[in-house]
């Protein structure tokens, strides 16, 4: 939309700095718009959609990733705890699809397919409340005192 207002000003040869001031955009954007307008006319100013990287996994691969995540970390060799971390998921993606993702990229990918960071709602089944209480009264009391 702003590009169309800019186009009207380009036609009457308004300086880029004035176009930027009137539209409240950077001069750099105006120069880019003007360059695209000169090369492609009105079509050159058409939006190409949102920026950013496209997903490197197909819909089928995303479905498989979901299924693999649902199996849990132990099914993929991480038996020490039952938490998915970004590093583990990045490794899993590499193993399954031979595609490398950064931790941040993995986070974006997980959000895209509907996963969000979670904190466990329940305490571990192995938790021994009596042992914890005893440790607090005996060991922790001695350490503090």
For 36-83, what is each residue's pLDDT tens digit? 989 988 888 887 777 777 889 999 999 999 999 999 999 999 988 888
pLDDT for res 123: 66
Provide, rounded to the nearest whole percent, the portion of the chain with pLDDT above 90: 50
CA distance linking residue 30 with residue 19, whole number of Å:
7
pTM score above 0.85: no
CA distance linking residue 90 with residue 106, whole number of Å:
6
**CA-CA-CA-CA torsion sign (21, 24, 28, 31):** negative
């Amino acid at each position: 939309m702003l590009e169309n207002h800019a186009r009207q000003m380009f036609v009457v040869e308004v300086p880029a700095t004035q176009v930027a001031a009137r539209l409240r955009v950077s001069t750099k954007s105006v120069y880019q718009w003007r360059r695209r307008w000169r090369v492609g006319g009105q079509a050159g100013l058409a939006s190409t959609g949102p920026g950013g990287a496209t997903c490197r996994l197909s819909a089928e691969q995303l479905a498989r990733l979901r299924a693999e995540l649902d199996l849990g970390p132990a099914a993929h060799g991480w038996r020490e705890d039952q938490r998915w971390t970004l590093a583990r998921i990045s490794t899993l993606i590499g193993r399954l699809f031979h595609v490398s993702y950064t931790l941040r990229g993995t986070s974006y990918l997980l959000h895209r397919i509907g996963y969000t960071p979670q904190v466990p709602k329940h305490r571990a089944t192995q938790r021994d409340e009596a042992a914890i209480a005893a440790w607090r009264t005996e060991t922790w009391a001695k350490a503090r005192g």
